[in-house]
Homo-oligomer: A and B are copies of this chain.
Amino acid sequence: MTEPETSILGSTRGKNSGDAFCATNPATGEHLNTFYAPASEAETERSAELAEQASLRLAALSGSEKGKFLRAIADGVDHIVEELVSIMTAETGLPEPRVRGETGRTSGQLRMFADLVEEGSWVDARIDHAIPDRQPIPKPDIRSMLRPIGPVGVFCASNFPLAFSVAGGDTASAFAAGCPVIVKAHHAHPGTALAVGKVVQAAVASCGLPEGTFSLLYGGGRTVGQHLVRHPSLKAVGFTGSRSGGRALFDLAASRPEPIPVYAEMSSVNPIFLLPSALADRGEQIAEGLLGSATLGVGQFCTNPGIVLHDKGELGEKFKNDYAKLMGQSSAAPMLHSGIRDAYGQGVSSLSSRPQIEALNDCGDDRGQGNCDAQAAVFAADAAAFLSDEALSEEIFGPSTLLVGCDGMDQMLEVARNLEGQLTATIFGSKEEIAAAEDLVAILETKAGRLLLNQFPTGVEVCQSIVHGGPYPATADGRSTSVGTAAILRFARPVCYQGFPDEHLPDELRDNNPLGINRLIDGDKA
């Protein structure tokens, strides 16, 4: 065995240890030949101390300095796309076009945040001028803006090895806010993490930023991550993964002497409500669209639709049959790693075993050469059964759909009312039906971060209006989005300055508005 790769600790690298692990190609089962040594407790401490030391310098960066840094990372990521194609396909079994697409999304996100901070209005600058002669007491001069929250811990997502990993959305938004970042690599794609980690490390150096701006920690289990989250220097956490993993981090962070926010994106069945005319007018088309949405990326998207509500009756039966046939014909494909594949198998088998559940296809148990292949699964249940058995509404991460037959709108509303928090909720129907379904929209608004009409939820547009978040357990903090420009708000806190002469104020709050940003001045937008 060659010397293992080690964690990135600021400008240096960690030490070798005896417990190094390697990734496995889920398509072939082949163990890849690079090993990675988990961070020691001292190395995790060191990364946190470096981050703490870097905090004030990063907080003092201008928007254009932060933009330059984000663009350096973006360029670096684009530059290694061929290397990523090679490493990431081997580590994840994802096809080459996906790797290229996700590379572009990742560098695109970094540049989006560069644009945002270079423009500068995101800081929500507010100015109240003094009124010295106000009665009965003078009004002081007060001005506020958003400032960075401090060092952020980011956990790489298994299902987005680039766009929600080392230089992904959490990291980009934290850097944009002016926070140092310590990334915990995912054990399934350590080489992808290292390639991107070296890009970030180089960007830190080329931009002359303090080395503690970025570290990357390896660890096979939960120990390194837990140690990181417990460190007093850490001020926030970004996580995308399982409900149990996210909740464990949330509980740990909440139990600290100083609790810190955890932005964990965890679990969503992304319900789709099919109103009668949708089935009548375009049932087959919807079945085909649903197939694409449910099986894209072997169902391993957070916005994968897991539960579909439809009216019972002839049209509903036809839809069930059409969809089951399509899903049955879809090919098995490797999931991201054996742990995810095991969980999928357990979820499908546990759902099959519930009373009042009908399995509409036999998804078998042929796990292929790499032991990670999964076949799509379709189940059906009656809404009454769905409402009486909480187990039916649990997420099965993978290409599984549960079709739930309802007795009309009243029962759909009852199902909607009983949903847990979701990332998305979707309605298919005619304009007239949707106008009449005001109550359904109103209920779903309280349950999900994103509502869709006549579109499938899979695929998340990266833009200023997107909300990729939702009430618990979709996320641990339903007041936030992890995608889009508003994701920066997770890593910022407001600070106000009272009685500061103009020359002591940050540029964002100075009278002559040198940055030319949008501000709220004495109650008016200016």
Report Cα–Cα, A439/B56, bound state, in Å: 9
Asked if A494 meets B476 with Cβ closer than 8 Å, knowing A467-B144, A499-B455, A520-B464, the reply is no
Cβ contact within 8 Å between B479 and A442:
no
Asked if A142 and B473 sit within 8 Å, CB to CB, the answer is no
- Interface flag for A448 (CB, 8 Å): yes
User: Can you list, as one digit per residue, whether each of A422-455 has a CB less than 8 Å from chain B (1) or not (0)?
Assistant: 0000000001001100010111011011111111
Which segment, of A7-15, A40-48, A250-258, A378-386, faces chain B?
A: A250-258
For residue A523, CB closer than 8 A to chain B, the reply is yes
From B150, B461, B467, A139 is in contact (CB under 8 Å) with: B461
Question: Is residue A359 contacting chain B, with contact meaning CB distance below 8 A?
Answer: no
A504: nearest chain-B partner, CB-CB: B434
Question: Which one, B258, B466, B503, contacts A142 given CB within 8 A?
Answer: B466
The complex is assembled from copies of this chain, and their number is: 2
Which of B126, B150, B434 meets A464, CB within 8 Å?
A: B126
Contact A472-B142, Cβ < 8 Å, known A442-B56, A451-B496, A465-B127: no
B472 lies within 8 A of A258 (CB)? yes
Bound-state CA distance A139–B462 (Å) is: 10
Tell me if A498 is interfacial: C-beta within 8 Å of chain B. Answer: yes
Q: Which of A475-517 contact B (CB under 8 A)?
A: 476-481, 486, 492-501, 503-504
The residues of B that contact A453 with a CB separation of less than 8 Å are: 497-501, 504
CA distance A448 to B139 in the complex (A): 21
Does A60 count as interface, using CB distance less than 8 angstroms?
Answer: yes
Contacting pair B143 A499 (CB below 8 A): no
29 A-B residue pairs with CB within 8 Å: A59-B446, A128-B464, A142-B461, A142-B465, A142-B466, A144-B465, A147-B445, A147-B446, A250-B259, A254-B254, A258-B473, A259-B472, A259-B476, A431-B501, A431-B503, A434-B504, A435-B503, A450-B498, A452-B498, A453-B498, A453-B500, A453-B504, A454-B499, A455-B498, A455-B499, A467-B494, A469-B494, A478-B493, A486-B494
Residues of A within 8 A of B (CB): 55-56, 59-60, 121, 126-128, 137, 139-140, 142-144, 147, 149-150, 250-251, 254-255, 258-259, 261, 420-421, 431, 434-435, 439, 441-443, 445-446, 448-455, 459, 461, 463-467, 469, 471-473, 476-481, 486, 492-501, 503-504, 518, 520, 523, 525
Contacts of A454 in B (CB 8 A): 499
Contact A464 B523 (CB under 8 A): yes
Residue among B126, B147, B149, B445 making CB contact with A495, cutoff 8 Å: B445
Known contacts A128-B463, A434-B504; is-contact A496 B450 (Cβ 8 Å): yes
Chain B nearest CB: distance from A114 CB in Å? 13
Name which residue of chain B comes closest to A501, CB basis: B431
A451 to B140 alpha-carbon distance, docked (Å): 13
Q: How many angstroms from the CA of A150 to the CA of B121 in the assembled complex?
A: 29
Contact of A445 among B59, B137, B463 (CB under 8 A): B59
Q: Closest B-chain residue to A453, C-beta based?
A: B499
Asked whether A140 and B442 contact (CB < 8 A) given A453-B504, A479-B261, the answer is: no
| A250 nearest CB across to chain B (Å) | 7
Question: What's the minimum C-beta distance from A150 to chain B, rounded to whole angstroms?
Answer: 6
Shortest Cβ distance from A484 into chain B, in angstroms? 8
Most buried by B among A251, A421, A472: A472
